[in-house]
Amino acid sequence: MPCTDADFAYLRSIVYEHSANALDSSRDYLFESRLQQFLHSTGLRTLENLVEALRKWPDPAVKRYIAEAMTINETSFFRDRAPFEVLRFDLLPPLIRRRSSLRRLRFWSGACSTGQEVYSLAMLLLEFFPELCDWQLEILGTDISREVIARARAGRYMRMEVNRGLPARFLIKYFRRVGDEWEVIPELRRMCRFHQRNLGNGPMLLERYDGVLLRNVMSYFSSEARQRLLLNIHRLLARDGFLILGSDEQPDPLGVFQSVVTRGTRYNIPLQYP
Amino acid sequence: MDDSRFIRGYLSLLLTRCGISCTVAENGQAGLECLRCLGPYDVALIDWNMPFMSGLEMIQAIRRDSAYDHLKILMVTVESDIAHIETALLAGADEYLLKPFDEFGLVTKLELIGLSP
């Protein structure tokens, strides 16, 4: 018997419970493709069997796996380009001037997927700001999916992946061939670290960041979860830091960020209160 | 320009979907003829390994002729070692697309060389 609407609603509730990710029913078809390997390796074979098993034995590890498998992982290097131009020309130069005695920069890429955004930021810093060569540069990438975090840590990409958004001169400068794949060079890797973390309901980070990138993920959260997340980001952003969301995304009207529109995109600066 | 009929068809399909009209040629010499007779073009997509005239030789011929100073060149090839990429860029290719590629990769490469599909 195929999955009923109630079965899919149950699966969506599992995803929401473990990630605060509110999937629309139009994405129900993804359960089949994203969980195919899991169904095969466990012998369950069908979604219906999985739902039946979970209703009888609600295994938290299996539920977490389902939540992770259903996260969206579409990314490229220098995705959308405009945010990286804003970083290069508008945000980083004054930030670097202000940090000239501290000589440290810290960035966080939330929902970093397989790491392309993190490595793109690292390449931007190395390529266009050579004066930072002896600074402490830290870029943290987090994602709910352990699988993509493992891939991001490996820093190894296939041809189709390095084709996407990566200038050829950056490919030959910042990567080395390993078999038929391309791996980031150690100089890049040293600046970047990756951790599995749930934006929706996991423990928040403790460090302060000069810049946060959280692009094209807010729309997957409920309004309440978005507001909670934005307040947390406001708390961990440096007072003179910045937040970059997707170009079509705006912070909810909490009044804790001010949007600046430039170069066809926008960034957000934290408002301060006495 | 590609000696593979499949690649010529695939690229034509993707470019057309992006709103870019194109002419195909199966080798460098035919490609140069198209440039001379059917231009002007905005971008030339060139394979490396072709009969009669390689893609590299074609790039060199194009860059020797100031009439094509405006022409962007995207190398589209299975050759993926660093030496090939460096050679193509030094010879005058503006970008380099590795085979196999998908629409996402092609579009972002075109954007990198200033074309907005």
> Is the Cβ of B90 closer than 8 Å to some Cβ of chain A?
no
Task: Evaluate if residue A71 carries a pLDDT over 70.
Answer: no
Position A99 scores a pLDDT of 97
Q: How confident is the model at residue B18 (pLDDT cuts 50, 70, 90)?
A: confident
On whether both A119 and A248 belong to a single domain, the answer is yes
Q: How confident is the model at residue A41 (pLDDT cuts 50, 70, 90)?
A: low
CATH number of the domain where residue A179 is located: 3.40.50.150
Number of domains in chain A: 2
Asked if residue A97 belongs to a domain, the reply is yes
Closest alpha carbon within chain A to B93: A168
Which structural domain, as residue segments, surrounds residue A103? Answer: 82-270
On whether both A99 and A138 belong to a single domain, the answer is yes
Task: Evaluate if residue A72 carries a pLDDT over 50.
Answer: no
On whether both A86 and A10 belong to a single domain, the answer is no
Residues with Cβ within 8 Å of A13's Cβ and at least 6 positions away in sequence, in order, are none
> Is the Cβ of A169 closer than 8 Å to some Cβ of chain B?
yes
On whether both A63 and A92 belong to a single domain, the answer is no
Closest alpha carbon within chain B to A171: B82
> Is the Cβ of B89 closer than 8 Å to some Cβ of chain A?
yes
Token pair in block for residue A100: 């000239």
pLDDT, greater one: B17 or A98 = A98
Closest alpha carbon within chain A to B78: A159
Q: How confident is the model at residue A262 (pLDDT cuts 50, 70, 90)?
A: very high
Position A159 scores a pLDDT of 86
- Contact assessment for residue B84 and residue B76, using Cβ atoms and an 8 Å cutoff: no
On whether both A151 and A123 belong to a single domain, the answer is yes
On whether both A98 and A233 belong to a single domain, the answer is yes
Asked if residue A101 belongs to a domain, the reply is yes
Asked if residue A223 belongs to a domain, the reply is yes
Closest alpha carbon within chain A to B109: A165
Determine, for residues A76 and B104 on separate chains, whether the beta-carbon distance falls below 8 Å: yes
Task: Evaluate if residue A134 carries a pLDDT over 70.
Answer: yes
Burial of A21 per CB tally in 10 Å (0-12, 13-18, 19+): buried
Task: Evaluate if residue B22 carries a pLDDT over 70.
Answer: yes
Asked if residue A77 belongs to a domain, the reply is no
Contacts B85 to A, Cβ<8 Å: 168, 171-172
Measure CB to CB from residue B105 to each of A163, A167, A172 and give the nearest one.
A163
Domain extents for chain B? Answer: 5-110
> Is the Cβ of B8 closer than 8 Å to some Cβ of chain A?
no
Determine, for residues B100 and A159 on separate chains, whether the beta-carbon distance falls below 8 Å: yes
Asked if residue A243 belongs to a domain, the reply is yes
Q: Give the containing element (helix H, strand E) for A55.
A: helix A47-56
On whether both A55 and A147 belong to a single domain, the answer is no
Contacts A177 to B, Cβ<8 Å: 80-82
The neighbour count for residue B114, using CB atoms within 10 Å, is: 11
* A56 half-sphere exposure, CB direction, 13 A CA radius: 5
Measure CB to CB from residue B80 to each of A76, A159, A167 and give the nearest one.
A159
Cα gap A184→A153, rounded to integer Å: 10
Task: Evaluate if residue A73 carries a pLDDT over 70.
Answer: no
Task: Evaluate if residue A3 carries a pLDDT over 90.
Answer: no
Task: Evaluate if residue A96 carries a pLDDT over 90.
Answer: yes
Position B10 scores a pLDDT of 82
> Is the Cβ of B91 closer than 8 Å to some Cβ of chain A?
no
Cis before B51 (ω within 30): no
Closest alpha carbon within chain B to A176: B82
Position A152 scores a pLDDT of 96
Position B39 scores a pLDDT of 77
Domain boundary among A46, A69, A92: A69
> Is the Cβ of B33 closer than 8 Å to some Cβ of chain A?
no
Position B116 scores a pLDDT of 76
- Residue of B77, B112, B115, B116 to mutate when probing chain A, most A C-beta within 10 A: B112
Average pLDDT over residues A86-91: 98
Calculate helix-pair angle for B5-17, B103-112, nearest 10 degrees. 70
Closest-CA distance, B24 to chain A, in angstroms, reads: 22
Token pair in block for residue A38: 């899991």
Domain boundary among A43, A69, A95: A69
Strand partners, A181: A178
- Which of A162-166, A170-174, A232-236, B51-55 holds the top average pLDDT? A170-174
- Contact assessment for residue A262 and residue A86, using Cβ atoms and an 8 Å cutoff: yes
On whether both A206 and A91 belong to a single domain, the answer is yes
Kindly report, residue by residue over A137-196, the tens digit of the pLDDT: 999 999 988 989 999 999 998 888 899 999 999 999 999 999 888 999 999 999 999 999
pLDDT, greater one: A71 or A81 = A81
pTM of the model: 0.82
**Mean residue pLDDT across chain A:** 88
Position A203 scores a pLDDT of 62
Q: What is the largest CA-CA distance in chain A?
A: 67
On whether both A52 and A95 belong to a single domain, the answer is no
Closest-CA distance, A76 to chain B, in angstroms, reads: 9
Task: Evaluate if residue A133 carries a pLDDT over 60.
Answer: yes
On whether both A91 and A200 belong to a single domain, the answer is yes
On whether both A159 and A240 belong to a single domain, the answer is yes
CATH code: domain B5-110 is: 3.40.50.2300
Task: Evaluate if residue B17 carries a pLDDT over 70.
Answer: yes
Kindly report, residue by residue over B71-100, the tens digit of the pLDDT: 999 999 989 999 999 999 999 999 999 987
